[in-house]
Amino acid sequence: MNLTGKTKLRRLPDRGTHDAGAIYEILDAAFLAHVGFNVSGQPFVIPTLYGRKGEKLYLHGSATSRMLCELEAGVPACVTVTLVDGLVLARSAFNHSMNYRSVVAFGTARKMDDPVRKINALLVISEHLLAGRWGDVRGPSEKELKATSVLEFSIEEASAKIRTGPPHDGEADYALSTWAGVLPLELTPGIPVPDSRLTAGLDIPEYVQRYRSRAGQDSKG
């Protein structure tokens, strides 16, 4: 990845890194990104699912999506991903914070028109979201492929920031009789709810039953 002033770590640089392994680990632990871009001076930030393979992120949506139509023209874009791991409760209001892992990535996207490459990119997104699901469902038809835009976002430069640990209070505040510490947070799955029109006798797939937060899973390199 290239490094310019866009990804220079200015505030609390000790929490940041440009290491590709650390960046990919965070991207692989999440599945929701916010994509920022500018149209005629008006900024937009759109949430979207994604998949990653190497230095590429794959985005998809309706062929009429404003975001995808703008990005496929090659406009500069910023993709951000954040995982919140806990609320950091300090003794003073000023020192409250959160434990988190985040990535800010800059680059450009290009539209994928070849049907085989589109399907492969959709597979990457599906497996990133829920490994095992793609092989269990009907693949996209020709009509569905035409109605879907798939973009390949090349990560040209990126940075990650991570905060862990307890609150950092002013020395005098440690004497206050105020509870302080970390309230851990994590995304956890609930009990799967079968569709009302599900074929009788179907069991919940193993990959759904064993689903856990992607956090902590091995990076895909």
Q: CB under 8 Å to 74, separation ≥6 — which residues? A: 108, 109, 110
Give which of 7, 5, 11, 43 is closest to 158, Cα–Cα.
Answer: 7
pLDDT digits 0-9 by tens, 71-84: 988 889 999 999 99
Which domains are delineated in the chain?
A: 5-166+202-209 (2.30.110.10)
Which pair of tokens denotes residue 93? 């209001």
Q: Return d(Cα 140, Cα 148) in angstroms, integer.
A: 10
Mean pLDDT value of segment 107-131: 95
Mean pLDDT value of segment 195-206: 95
Confidence at residue 99, expressed as pLDDT on a 0 to 100 scale: 97
Q: Return d(Cα 115, Cα 129) in angstroms, integer.
A: 21
Written as one letter, the residue type at 165 is G
Which pair of tokens denotes residue 26? 């965070």
Work out the mean pLDDT of the chain and round it to a whole number.
Answer: 91
pLDDT digits 0-9 by tens, 35-58: 999 988 999 999 999 999 999 999
pLDDT digits 0-9 by tens, 84-117: 999 999 999 999 999 999 999 999 999 999 999 9
Q: Return d(Cα 32, Cα 34) in angstroms, integer.
A: 7
Residue 203, exposed/middle/buried by CB under 10 A (0-12, 13-18, 19+)? exposed
Q: How far is CA 129 from CA 74, 145, 150, 211, 213, in A?
A: 26, 19, 16, 10, 10
